[in-house]
Chains A and B, each alone.
Chain A
């Protein structure tokens, strides 16, 4: 594990300031805790019950009582003020920030760039440039959390929320969903991939275009990128949707009692309009994946056909 005992390595312009505050509170807490524990231990030992020694009356001292009201108040107000100033910095994105639109859905993240390209579960950003995400959700609440950047913001349906950060090094960083969103909550993971400015522009120019990868291989990539794995296993276990293992060519019983043969057309419809046919025993929870190109759809179908 990298990072300190308490925190992962920071990688944004604000992370070191936030860490300083975190450590200030942690050390103040440790000192306070040590003081409290030492006082308890000392008093417990010094005044343990012994024969012949009765307790003596103690007259509470006003000065002592006032001091332990005033001193902690000053301390917490210092901490409040510090946290407040940083929070304002966290909440207001610099005006020159690069804007990316982020969409959360059960259980994946889509990122749409100003050029119109979309990436799923991989957010590509330039380093040393403020990036602002404008976010909304397609279904329930989600939350966008990048521990290394020390940023987090809930993502809501029918409303925009935003978060900004400026990455300081080229690397790959973990994204978690931190608002509980159902069975796939813990696999609603993504990464932030940071590039130098030049590499980022190169990536953006080539993003979303894939004409060379063989179909089944592209399908395997899409299975990961589009987070199909969150609901559809490859080993035959039923998760939230039917497993892809041995799916192709099988005859499924639907929830209205009719049956359907799993062929190319069935698979295509189940991806683009998942509510049309629901296999018996499963819920209608899948989002339509209407944004996939024809080539990508063919690739996924080719991939599913290969799972035996």
Chain B
């Protein structure tokens, strides 16, 4: 903080020129790989997460291609099982858990708070390298013989199949620590690093969601660590914990596993909620309807999320009483998610809605997450879940939430903050086309899975009865359309890196600090002086140049007299 005071005395413009922004101020490879700057660490995450997403996506396309017709086509049963296992493991542990907190969370949290960095920058870098080591170990396990247990590692199968399960459990164990460290770091940052005037009810909703996610990460991940460690010890030392052949209990493993993995579903979706709140507010140019309801429902979801794991086990052999209780609590957690959707929709009321690419993703999210939510209610119904459990209905539901929810939100966030991160604009027409392709492909892929599942198609089958052929083919075609959309996104974003039009500091008219208080790309230390916050995150009517811009219909960045980095808020 003293440093900031000193800096206040130098004229801002001159200081900015000397330092350059966070990308240009240092150029060596080492300055990226060992950077303690949260923004650069965010970029490191982005690159790694993108590679994991590409890998997981290729595995998914291979799985869908094999399912194009019944019987073994180009993958043997064994290779198919490895393929869907790797798809699940890479997507869950390599992509969807770290993606939003690691990439956008790192990049934005300090900017949103008006802070210079996260509370523990070194720990932040350590988290990244632990995560990278985890991903590397997954790749080693793949090369060393691969794994065919599914991402759930259910015992006793996982105790008997090939030895590369050991690499994988280690990978998950290590990646888990990355998650815990990031969680601790973010919680402390939100508590201790807020700028003056940044009260709890002025936090952007993205911060609330990342904060809730961090609580879950810190409380739940250790259980996963202990579970995979026990699995590891059982394999290595033959002490009976989960394997009945050694006197262990396979249902105990499922309890432990879901005690982590159900809250983990909220680790995956809560940050997505945060992004959607930002997108809908900015592109509707409207205050979030029921700000506190959305903020606190994230916290409620984070806490209730710990009490519902047993709904994965209605037919696994747990007691009927447990199943009933878990079902009841499962419904209670549906309520805060519903509140959010209704509040987001109400935010559009009397707004001024612009349909730029990020907003298209936000609207897709509302539609797709609603399908994910109502199918979630369906699989929570005790008697009906008996029929639907372990069929493609569950696969469809899960993907509507994880792809239709989290991944769509991530894509929306990526497009929204792309100009802030890279200083460039992407091609808007290509962006809209890709959003449409992804939306259509996603529905074709996963809605057909809902239908074939309730008709009885079990999951994790490399071969199927001829009656399911048509639905499987539709689903596979859907995966191609979605793949084409995502490929298009990759292309125009890469093109924009080199040829994109230079972006202004606030191309969308956002009202959070990263838009109003930093340049096109933020300064290495984020703000030239610590912002003094006097308004909420969505008070668009209190940003003078936005109001002015609206009057004469020019985007705010086109005006030359935008006064950045001034304490006018």
Residues in chain A within 8 A of chain B (CB atoms): 1, 3, 5-8, 17-18, 21-22, 25-26, 28-29, 32-33, 36-37, 39-40, 43-44, 47-58, 60, 64-65, 68-69, 72-73, 76-77, 79-80, 82-84, 86-91, 139-141, 143, 145, 147-148, 150-154, 156-159, 161, 174, 176-187, 239-240
Q: Which residues of B contact A87 (CB under 8 A)?
A: 314, 320, 323-324, 327, 382-383, 386
Q: Which residues of A contact B352 (CB under 8 A)?
A: 47, 49-50, 53-55
Does B363 sit within 8 A of A, measured CB to CB?
A: yes
Complex contact A7–B285 (CB within 8 A): no
Complex contact B367–A18 (CB within 8 A): no
Q: Which residues of A contact B382 (CB under 8 A)?
A: 80, 83-84, 86-87
Complex contact A183–B81 (CB within 8 A): yes
Complex contact A6–B454 (CB within 8 A): yes
Complex contact B383–A21 (CB within 8 A): yes
Which residue of the partner chain B has the closest CB to A36?
B370
Does B366 sit within 8 A of A, measured CB to CB?
A: yes
Complex contact B374–A55 (CB within 8 A): no
Complex contact A141–B250 (CB within 8 A): yes
Q: A69-B335, A84-B324, A179-B154 are in contact. Are A47 and B390 (CB under 8 A)?
A: no
Q: Which residues of A contact B339 (CB under 8 A)?
A: 65, 68-69
Complex contact A43–B245 (CB within 8 A): no
Q: Which residues of A contact B374 (CB under 8 A)?
A: 25, 28-29, 32-33
Cβ < 8 Å to A, chain B residues 147-180:
148-150, 154, 156-157, 160-161
Q: Which residues of B contact A33 (CB under 8 A)?
A: 370-371, 374
Complex contact B335–A73 (CB within 8 A): yes
Q: Which residues of A contact B343 (CB under 8 A)?
A: 65
B365 CB to nearest A CB, Å: 11
Contact indicator per residue, chain B 438-474, by CB within 8 Å of chain A (1) or not (0)? 0000000000000100111011111111010000000
The 4 A-B residue pairs with the shortest CB-CB distance in the complex, in nearest-first order:
A147-B456, A86-B383, A29-B374, A87-B382
State which of B324, B342, B386, B460 has its C-beta within 8 Å of the C-beta of A68. Answer: B342
A-B contact pairs, 29 of them (CB 8 A): A6-B451, A7-B455, A21-B384, A26-B378, A43-B348, A44-B355, A47-B351, A52-B553, A55-B350, A58-B289, A68-B339, A79-B331, A80-B382, A82-B381, A87-B327, A89-B383, A143-B390, A145-B456, A147-B387, A152-B386, A152-B390, A154-B317, A157-B156, A180-B150, A184-B77, A185-B81, A186-B77, A187-B463, A240-B77
B232 CB to nearest A CB, Å: 19
Which residue of the partner chain B has the closest CB to A238?
B76
State which of B354, B383, B389 has its C-beta within 8 Å of the C-beta of A83. Answer: B383
State which of B148, B338, B455 has its C-beta within 8 Å of the C-beta of A147. Answer: B455
* Extra 8 A-B pairs, beta carbons < 8 Å, given A87-B314, A156-B250: A7-B454, A43-B345, A55-B350, A58-B289, A80-B328, A84-B382, A147-B387, A182-B81
Complex contact A64–B370 (CB within 8 A): no
**Binding site of B, secondary structure by majority: helix, strand, loop or mixed?**
helix
Does B293 sit within 8 A of A, measured CB to CB?
A: yes
Bound Cα distance from A178 to B465, whole angstroms: 14
Contact indicator per residue, chain B 340-362, by CB within 8 Å of chain A (1) or not (0)? 01110110111111110000000
B353 CB to nearest A CB, Å: 5
Complex contact A76–B353 (CB within 8 A): no
Complex contact B244–A57 (CB within 8 A): no
Q: A5-B451, A22-B454, A55-B286 are in contact. Are A156 and B251 (CB under 8 A)?
A: yes
B4 CB to nearest A CB, Å: 34
Cβ < 8 Å to A, chain B residues 104-159:
148-150, 154, 156-157
Bound Cα distance from A187 to B149, whole angstroms: 17
A206 CB to nearest B CB, Å: 29
Complex contact A177–B348 (CB within 8 A): no
Contact indicator per residue, chain B 364-394, by CB within 8 Å of chain A (1) or not (0)? 0011001100110110011111110111000
Q: A143-B315, A180-B150 are in contact. Are A185 and B460 (CB under 8 A)?
A: yes
Does B290 sit within 8 A of A, measured CB to CB?
A: yes
Does B334 sit within 8 A of A, measured CB to CB?
A: yes
Q: Which residues of B contact A180 (CB under 8 A)?
A: 81, 149-150, 154, 157, 459-460
A133 CB to nearest B CB, Å: 13
State which of A1, A60, A73, A184 has its C-beta within 8 Å of the C-beta of B289. Answer: A60
Does B284 sit within 8 A of A, measured CB to CB?
A: yes
Complex contact A150–B386 (CB within 8 A): yes
Q: A68-B338, A182-B81 are in contact. Are A55 and B345 (CB under 8 A)?
A: no
Q: A26-B378, A33-B374 are in contact. Are A72 and B338 (CB under 8 A)?
A: yes
Complex contact A159–B317 (CB within 8 A): yes
State which of B148, B315, B353 has its C-beta within 8 Å of the C-beta of A47. Answer: B353
Q: Which residues of B contact A29 (CB under 8 A)?
A: 374-375, 377-378
Q: Which residues of B contact A179 (CB under 8 A)?
A: 154, 390
Which residue of the partner chain B has the closest CB to A45?
B353
Does B525 sit within 8 A of A, measured CB to CB?
A: no
Most B-side CB within 10 Å, residue of A7, A83, A181, A240: A83
Complex contact B350–A58 (CB within 8 A): yes
Bound Cα distance from A237 to B491, whole angstroms: 42
State which of A54, A57, A145, A151 has its C-beta within 8 Å of the C-beta of B550. Answer: A54
Q: Which residues of A contact B464 (CB under 8 A)?
A: 186
Q: Which residues of A contact B244 (CB under 8 A)?
A: 156-159
Does B540 sit within 8 A of A, measured CB to CB?
A: yes
Complex contact B334–A76 (CB within 8 A): yes
Does B316 sit within 8 A of A, measured CB to CB?
A: yes
Contact indicator per residue, chain B 317-339, by CB within 8 Å of chain A (1) or not (0)? 10010011001100100110011
B156 CB to nearest A CB, Å: 5
Complex contact A40–B327 (CB within 8 A): no
Complex contact A186–B349 (CB within 8 A): no
Q: Which residues of A contact B338 (CB under 8 A)?
A: 68, 72
Which residue of the partner chain A has the closest CB to B386?
A152
Does B202 sit within 8 A of A, measured CB to CB?
A: no
State which of A22, A57, A157 has its C-beta within 8 Å of the C-beta of B378. Answer: A22
